[in-house]
Amino acid sequence: MPPTRNRAAVPEQLGFAGMPEKLFVCTPSKLGAFTDCPRRYRYSYVDRPSPPKGPPWAHNSLGASVHTALKNWYALPPERRLPEALPTLLKSTWVREGYRDVELERAAYRKALDWLEAYVATLDPEEEPLGVERVVAAKTAVLALNGRADRIDARPGPDGPEAVIVDYKTGRSGLDADDARGSQALALYAYAAQRVFRRPCHRVELHHLPTGTVAVHEHTDESLARQVRRAEETAQDIMAAEKAVAAGTDPDEAFPVNPGSLCGWCDFRKVCPAGATVAAKEPWTAVEHLGAS
């Protein structure tokens, strides 16, 4: 496991020479990679050159296509934000990588267009979000955090205007309030958005396009602070592991593998001794059901 850090020293952030340590620059996905598997984090962010990845995943292609189509829908003037615009928007953003064959790709395209048409029917084309694919950033005693939120809405609150974090999901599984509550990424976006827009941001929403489900959680300042502390603790673990490697510790020991069900989906499965023992998923496995009759 990564070396144990001295948590008592965290508030001061003192280095060996009594000087403040550099802030740990990160995104929520970077922190999540370490939490899921320190070895995957090492392959992605520490080893240079990074080990070769496996082939592209069709579900990532599908998700990216839908996200970009929605981004471009909001880039249109309000009078042109119509369902009729969606086929052109989706075709222009479509990512073709990872599909088993043209038939499955076409089925995925048709399903994605269905999702988009149903979803934009729930939106007011006249409403302008605070941000679409907007980068928000904030600093703490440990972190220099930044991340790109799918959408940040402006909505009325009891004490004035508030910001709301909206995250699009295109995966097969449905979502519920526990998913929204437990998402560290959404909490960190909310924490950063409060500072960027100088207005409260406690509500986070997961919009699952395949089912039309909206999973909601209302954070408090205390729950956001807990998520930030968790992120700082993860960052401390990462920095401790990196220092251990620099001091001569075996990288495999400093960044241990966390074998499990995620190994079959890992980009580095073929180069990881633990992952190589797990049956690989095909690049199109997660979208194969879209081609079922």
pLDDT digits (tens, 9 = 90+) for 233-279: 999 999 999 999 999 999 999 999 999 888 999 999 989 988 878 88
Q: What is the pLDDT of residue 6?
A: 43
CB atoms within 10 A of CB 176: 13
Work out the pLDDT band at 136, boundaries 50, 70, 90: very high
Please say whether the beta carbons of 61 and 96 come within 8 A.
yes
For tokens 């592209």, the residue is 56
Residue 16 pLDDT exceeds 50: no
Q: In Å, how far from its chain's centre is CA 11?
A: 27
Residue 21 has pLDDT above 80, yes or no: no
- Rounded to the nearest 10°, the torsion over CA 6, 188, 156, 158 is -20
* pLDDT for the residue 288: 95
- Domain residue extents for the chain: 7-53+231-277, 58-113, 131-138+148-228
CATH of domain 131-138+148-228: 3.40.1350
Which of 13-27, 39-53, 130-144 is predicted with the least confidence, judged by mean pLDDT?
Answer: 13-27
pLDDT in tens, 47-70: 999 999 999 999 999 999 999 999
- Calculate the average pLDDT of the chain: 92
3-state secondary structure 168-227: EECCCCCCCHHHHHHCHHHHHHHHHHHHHHCCCCCEEEEEECCCCEEEEEECCHHHHHHH
**Statement: the pTM of the whole predicted model exceeds 0.85:** yes
